[in-house]
């Protein structure tokens, strides 16, 4: 179950990261509320996962999912630049997330 919590926490991290963009510096109420709620949920589930998983693994996977998801959605939603090197490093990030999961105690 801790891995399920961790994956959901990572997905919620993507939500709040993207919500930050839509909140325009917390000046828009609905996106701001969405951001705060998903942030709280993400932190709660990360804490639940960290009760059973090593903190370095839990935090690394959580950050990795959030960074990878935010970068992909930044490309899709905000038309951020896509370069071969950026895709290479995003791929490396995915490999690192999988590696952390595969080598977790």
pLDDT tens track for 89-98? 999 999 999 9
The residue-averaged pLDDT of 49-59 equals: 96
Q: Is 28 left (phi over 0), alpha (psi -120 to 50) or beta?
A: beta
**Quick one: pLDDT at residue 104?**
83
Domain that holds residue 12: 2-102
Residue 105 has pLDDT above 80, yes or no: no
How many domains is the chain built from? 1
Residue 23 has pLDDT above 80, yes or no: yes
Phi, psi of 61, rounded to the nearest 5 degrees? -65, -40
The residue-averaged pLDDT of 10-26 equals: 97
**Quick one: pLDDT at residue 58?**
96
């Amino acid at each position: 179950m801790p891995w399920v919590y961790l994956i959901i926490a990572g997905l919620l991290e993507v939500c709040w990261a993207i919500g930050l963009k839509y909140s325009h510096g917390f000046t828009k109420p609905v996106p701001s509320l969405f951001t705060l709620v998903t942030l709280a949920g993400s932190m709660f589930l990360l804490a639940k996962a960290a009760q059973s998983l090593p903190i370095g693994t839990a935090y690394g996977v959580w950050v990795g999912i959030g960074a990878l998801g935010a970068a992909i959605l930044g490309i899709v939603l905000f038309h951020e630049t896509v370069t071969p090197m950026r895709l290479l490093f995003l791929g490396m990030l995915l490999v690192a997330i999988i590696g952390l999961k595969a080598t977790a105690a």
